[in-house]
Amino acid sequence: DAKTTQPPSMDCAEGRAANLPCNHSTISGNEYVYWYRQIHSQGPQYIIHGLKNNETNEMASLIITEDRKSSTLILPHATLRDTAVYYCIVRAASGGYQKVTFGTGTKLQVIP
Amino acid sequence: NAGVTQTPKFQVLKTGQSMTLQCAQDMNHEYMSWYRQDPGMGLRLIHYSVGAGITDQGEVPNGYNVSRSTTEDFPLRLLSAAPSQTSVYFCASSYLYLGRVHEQYFGPGTRLTVT
């Protein structure tokens, strides 16, 4: 799996959009981008994933650049409950046994 | 669905003791994995399995054993606990699609302290 780089921390005002960047410059053509978050000491929670196109679900939007070397997770209206560590990982689309590894993520603090 | 369950929630061990951390899932997922998370750190992969009878090592396998005799269960064994194994342990499961691990579902974690 390709390596990812994320800022260690970010702040966002409550009610505003939170934009969390991720750099994955060594991503290959068959690798998906996945986002998870970990609230306090709970187990991580899946948020969204994508390959090339932008994706949206009830939790967030994922914007992937045309060259696929970076992506942004967007929480459209951040609430205090969105305070968490957000992990961006990339994963191959098929084949072989998968070692799914996480980095250190971005700690998002939503401020009232 | 109970999802992914882990027992115990908390455990204190003395150095040299052995124990098994239990993990079970009721979603019929082929893929299961164990991670450890040290304070202020990300998750590190210990072992993983793509089906009953098939396991492989992750990033930090030393000191841990696993086996997968059923689809549902994936226990993690510490043969001789060391203080360096003090951590929070998370189990996760996922289905496989064309060999790809899909979104993972995580358990609530086991907080282990080794004195």
Given a cut of 60, is residue B18 above it in pLDDT? yes
Name residues whose C-beta falls within 8 Å of residue B86's C-beta, 6 or more positions apart in sequence.
B38, B112, B113, B114
- Among B34, B103, B112, which would you mutate to test the A interface (most chain A Cβ atoms within 10 Å of its Cβ)? B103
Dihedral angle sign, alpha carbons of residues B49, B55, B56, B58? positive
Q: Which residues of chain A have pLDDT under 50?
A: none
- pLDDT score of B101: 80
Task: Tell me the pLDDT of chain B averaged across its residues.
Answer: 94
Residue burial A44-67, b: 16+ Cβ < 10 Å; e: rest = bbbbbbbeeeebeeeebbbbbeee
Report pLDDT for A18. 98
Nearest to B32 by CA among B90, B86, B77: B90
Strands A70-75 and A55-56: unpaired
The residues pairing with A36 across neighbouring beta strands, listed in sequence order, are A46, A87
Give the pLDDT confidence of A10-24 residue by residue, as tens digits.
999 999 999 999 999
Give the residue-averaged pLDDT of B89-107. 88
Distance CA B3, CA B97 (A): 19
Residue in chain B lying closest to A42 (CA): B108
